[in-house]
Amino acid sequence: MDSIQNSLKKLAGSQAFKERYEKMRQEIMQDEYIKHFIEKNQGKVTKTMVDNSMMKLYEYISQSKQCVDCPSLAECKNMMKGYDPHLVIRGELIDIEYHVCPRKEMDDEKRKSEKLIKSLYVPRDILQASFSTIDLDSPGRLKAVDIANEFVESYEAGRSQKGLYFHGKFGVGKSYLLGAIANQLAEKKISSMLVYMPEFVREMKQSLNDHSMDEKLDAVKKAPILMLDDIGAETMSSWVRDEILGTILQFRMLENLPTFFTSNFDYEGLKHHLTYSQRGEEEKMKAARIMERIKYLTKPVLLDGINRRQ
């Protein structure tokens, strides 16, 4: 034991060690985050405290703060992946606390939602969608992307803001545009939920058997930003229209939560689709009530172009 302690003392006293230590100290003291912490805690932080906390301070400056240098959670460079370092004073030392970072919070929220609703899984091309990869080969498409980008740029949590109702022919890229909006929002650390409507309808029917319907419905209706993809593609029963879709829309209308839709139908076409139940019954008033909520929540946007799935 004595020989180890003696070796450490010799190492600490060597010129090479002193030079490395001084270089590390300068790097730490020049760091903007460290400067801000010392300034913020003026009168509490002493030179002795800083000297005795060098290794912790070096650990701190070697990591990303607020996800600044992390392109994704998977590429997080921090010691504890998905956790953000924060400096704190503990007695006569400066220490580090680790808090969940914004990217991990979003990832945890997404995983929790995915456990409840399988229809959140969307094709890979939509998951990787961005405004920059959308073909702008017509004035209508350019306008649609501009409107979508305007929403992303102006969105503020808690502020009343209408979503968008993208309609157009099959295969023109409506779902892809929703994915681009979701990804742009994610870059601003804003969570959204994209639900493929036909699958969601099937799942709601199946959830009656395992009594999970209320939990799943609650997760969807309370999403900060909800995107219902391909509404009108499914044959909708009166129960789904009134008790599922109607419940979601009523809640979001009262809470002023942004809601997006894509559909092959414009407003009038969707109204006609919702008018007739699976049994062929004509229910104009109930369909009109749903459309009233959709119109309240959204602004219609036509997305034109060729069928890109061919």
**Alpha-carbon gap, residue 141 to 120, rounded angstroms:** 26
Furthest C-alpha separation in the chain: 93
As a whole number, the mean pLDDT across the chain is 87
Do 96 and 207 have their domain in common? no
pLDDT at res. 310: 64
Residues near 38 by beta carbon (within 8 Å), at least 6 away in sequence: 45, 50
So what's the pLDDT on residue 98? 93
- pLDDT above 70 as % of the chain: 92
Query: Which domain covers residue 158, as residue numbers?
Result: 104-302
* Packing angle of the helix pair 54-61, 32-40 (nearest 10 deg): 130
What pLDDT, on the 0 to 100 scale, is given for residue 250?
Answer: 98
In a domain, 239, yes or no: yes
| H/E run at residue 288 | helix 284-297
Q: What pLDDT was estimated at residue 6?
A: 56
b/e 234-259 (16+ beta carbons within 10 angstroms → b): bebeeebbbebbbebbebbeeeebbb
For residues 79 and 210, membership in a common domain is answered with no
Most confident of 25-39, 64-78, 117-131, 186-200: 25-39
* pLDDT tens digits, 85-105: 999 999 999 999 999 988 888
Between 152 and 157, the higher pLDDT residue: 152
- Contacts of residue 5, Cβ cutoff 8 Å, sequence gap at least 6: none
Name the least confident of 61-75, 176-190, 213-227, 296-310: 61-75
**End-of-domain residue from the set 79, 100, 121:** 100
Domain of 272, CATH number, reads: 3.40.50.300
Instruction: Let me know whether 241 and 206 are in one domain.
Output: yes
Give the pLDDT band (50/70/90) at residue 135.
confident
The span from the CA of 219 to the CA of 150, in Å, is 27
Tokens of 303: 């997305």
d(CA 130, CA 117): 24
The number of domains in the chain is 2
The last residue of one of the domains, among 100, 119, 138, is 100
Confidence of residue 72 (pLDDT cuts 50, 70, 90): confident
Between 278 and 210, the more confident residue is 210
Buried residues in 36-51 as b, exposed as e (16+ CB within 10 A): ebbeeeeeebeeebbe
277 pLDDT tier (thresholds 50, 70, 90): confident
Confidence of residue 159 (pLDDT cuts 50, 70, 90): confident
Residue 310 lies in a domain: no
Range name among 24-28, 70-74, 120-124, 237-241 with the lowest pLDDT average: 120-124
